[in-house]
A and B are shown apart, each in its own frame.
Chain A
Amino acid sequence: MKRSKLMALLLAGSMLLGLAACGGGGTTTPAPEGSKAAEPAQSQAAEPSTAESITLWTYPIGNWGKEAEVKAMTDAFTAETGIKVTVEYLAYADGDDKVNSALSAGNAPDLIMEGPERLVANWGANGHMVPLNDLVDDTDKKEINAAAMAACTNTDGSIYEYPLVMTAHCMAVNLDAFKAAGADQYLDLKTHTWTTENFFKAVDALYAHFGQTVGAVYCAGQGGDQGTRALVNNLYGGTFTNAEHTAYTWDDPKNVQALEKLRDTKGIEFDASLAGGDEIAKFYQGALKMAFCWNIAQQLDPNAAGTGSGKTVTGEEIAFMAFPSEDGNSKLQGGIWGFGIFDNGNEAKIAAAKQFIKYMCDSEHTADAVKTANYFAVRNTAEGNDLSNIWADNPIMAEYNVLMPLLGDYYQVTTNWAQARTSWWTMLQKVGEGADVSEMVAQYAKEAIGG
């Protein structure tokens, strides 16, 4: 009797623990030895592969997030090489989680398309990626934008991302709303720049006219956080990291000044219910009169809604603008996107993935791959094909070129970058809730460097 009671207790206990703990338990697959020493740059075309198929996971980088557009290109690649490409489309909201889960389970994709902050500073630095140095010869180095190439190269010299496109992130304003509030006088629509003073005058005018939040310092998560960083850094000339990318400098008093000014401005709300994508949607719907998470892909297709370039859902005109700065010369945050290869230990698949990269990033097909992304090519020519004029037929892209000289430092490869992003939006939430700005800035800047 006692034994059966004990058994029953044990069973009940294990069932309870089982119910409670079924969220746990992950298996760790040792990461592949991907971080081989960087080999010297050798001019080498990608070797034809014996692999019949590869997998590509892509974040929504312009139309690289749209199946119809991507399929046309992968089908063309398959027709030319015989290698089938299976594509999975990731969202920024949970794409990282999916990739991390796949890495843990040992079934990461062969190819991934995103930026250096993930491919180089995180997965690459942690030994999950294949160095692509053999794909980059001296001619490529001359053709590819030097800053983009540097961002795609790890500190040990390994190139973990082959860059395809780049852009300068900016902000946007609802021009019709600005005109209605008489705030368009503060915009320089020729240079698409404005000063800090004019920015706050415009916010005040819009708030007085509409009586509701004009712009949101969104901080629900890290999505689109380049916008809030660029806004804060540019207002009074603060910085986020040092030039060497070895330390975070966002406890700069100029950033404290910017955060305090933003918090004290009635038309600006620190909104912990919005991330970058939500802010774009609110701006597109007309609820917000300015968006801090913007770039040329959004200008061409706001909110990816397919309702016309440079228009809100109700047809109001959208103007892209540089972030405001004291002298009007802001430093814009760059965006670089390209391909990386996960080291799954299958040489044939790695060779096939390299063929894919060569096809998309350095061939006569590169123009199509770039145009699909709705951004600018990182190189002027690809295997003799001129890429400098591929957007000549698009007046919006041509106009957007005015912002490219404002491209600032690509600091997203600074050590502890992933932690820094988390610390940044958490800090913004605390500031928005009324915490002391200096204290919060100091606390979270310290947390970002692992303090």
Chain B
Amino acid sequence: MANKASKPTMSRALQRREDVAGYLFMLPSLIFFLGFVVIPMFICIGYSLTDATMHQKAATAFVGFSNFGKLLGDEVFLEALKNTFIIVIVSVPAVAAFSLWVSSAIYKLKGPVLSAFRCIFYLPVVTGSVAVTVVWKWMFDNYTGIINTVLSGAGLIEKNINFLGDSRYALWCIILILFTTSVGQPIVLYVSALGNVDQSLVEAAQVDGATNFQVFWKIKWPQMMPTTLYILVITTINSFQCFALIQLLTQGGSGTNTVMYYIYYTAFKLTEQAGHFGYANAMGVVLAVFIAILSAVQFKLAKEK
């Protein structure tokens, strides 16, 4: 009896020790997460309700939701929002579909060949975004770029195309570059997910006469759903936050302004409204809400599936 009574007490102590150990392990990353993500997030929300600017001498005034109201009438913001959505809507499905296709084609290859493909597709991810962007800038150059040289050399164009200086092309060039820098990680993840598909289920389905498409759709695809969900969420967030490409290639001109760039522009560029932190933070909150909604929808759909 005595043993029975003391057993739960020991277990609780052990549990507590494990909990403490667990929290201690978490502590370093938790400090960074709180310090650099959660707290700034609340500061961001707080500032979005004020008229804080870089030049503010007096205490910042609380303005309620007026910054959000102004956003609705800000044509530049609305255009940036539209461009951002175009990037997301085009980029996310394209990245997911292309990575799945490439992964399906390469995951059964032998070790070194598979590694080579992984390296090729992952190279733009590990290469610095500035280096990648500068190379693309050279290629798209209006005067000496290789793309114009090839097109005019082949007789396909009479006059050079100003890829990054013409609003008919600039946003699509941005999407193309974003695509090349985004597919690396999904391909690696999909290759891994496809490799982990339970082969006994695949073989059983094949024995039952399932076609390749049926095997993929009924057996492999459901098992890859967590990977797909992760890829969709991460690609969506990255696409919403497209900034470096815009900053380095077009500075928001030629119809390529995005919400992230406009936030930066409003907060730090030398304009009359320079350092308009309240307004910039309001944009940040709106962007975050859109990302959260879209991600929640993706979670919901994936769960239903």
Question: Hey, which bits of chain A sit against chain B, CB under 8 A?
Answer: 13-28, 30-31, 33, 96-97, 99-101, 103-104, 118, 122, 126-128, 212-213, 219-221, 269, 271-275, 282, 285, 287-288, 416, 418-419, 422, 425-426, 429, 432-433, 450
- Among listed B1-9, B195-203, B279-287, interface-contacting one: B279-287
Complex contact B274–A20 (CB within 8 A):
no
Residue of B nearest to A104 (CB): B54
Could you tell me which residues of chain B, from 20 to 38, have a CB within 8 Å of some CB in chain A?
33, 36-38
The smallest C-beta distance from B264 to any residue of chain A, in angstroms, reads: 8
Complex contact B41–A25 (CB within 8 A) = yes
Look across to chain A and name the residue whose beta carbon is closest to the beta carbon of B40.
A25
CB of A272 within 8 A of CB of B268, answer no
In the complex, the chain A residue whose C-beta lies closest to that of B233 is A16
Nearest CB of A to B123, in Å: 25
Q: Please state if B292 and A20 are interface contacts (CB–CB under 8 Å).
A: yes
In the complex, the answer to whether B288 meets A21 with C-beta atoms within 8 Å is yes
Q: Are B275 and A24 in contact (CB under 8 A)?
A: no
Q: Is the CB of B254 within 8 A of A272?
A: yes
* A273/B280 in contact, CB under 8 A: no
Contacts of B142 in A (CB 8 A): 269, 271, 273-274
Indicate whether B229 reaches chain A with its CB closer than 8 angstroms.
no
Give the number of residues in B that approach A within 8 Å (Cβ atoms).
63
Alpha-carbon gap, A274 to B271, bound state (A): 20
Residues of B close to A100: CB separation below 8 A:
54, 268-270, 274-275
Task: Judge whether B214 is part of the interface by a CB distance below 8 angstroms.
Answer: no
Chain B residues engaging chain A, CB cutoff 8 angstroms: 33, 36-38, 40-41, 43-44, 47-48, 52-60, 140-144, 160, 162-167, 170, 237, 240-241, 243, 250-251, 253-254, 260, 263-264, 267-275, 277, 280-281, 284-285, 287-288, 291-292, 295-296
Most A CB within 10 A of own CB, among B59, B273, B277: B277
- Among B48, B166, B267, contact of A433 (Cβ-Cβ < 8 Å): B166
Q: List 19 A-B contacts (CB under 8 A).
A: A14-B41, A19-B291, A20-B287, A21-B40, A25-B40, A25-B284, A26-B281, A28-B52, A28-B56, A31-B55, A96-B270, A100-B269, A100-B275, A127-B55, A220-B251, A274-B165, A282-B143, A419-B273, A433-B167
Contacts of A128 in B (CB 8 A): 55
Contact of B272 among A23, A97, A127, A416 (CB under 8 A): A416
Q: Which of A21, A96, A416 interacts with B284 by CB under 8 Å?
A: A21
* Most chain A CB atoms below 10 A, which of B48, B140, B284: B284
With known contacts A213-B143, A272-B165, A273-B163, A20–B240 Cβ distance under 8 A: yes
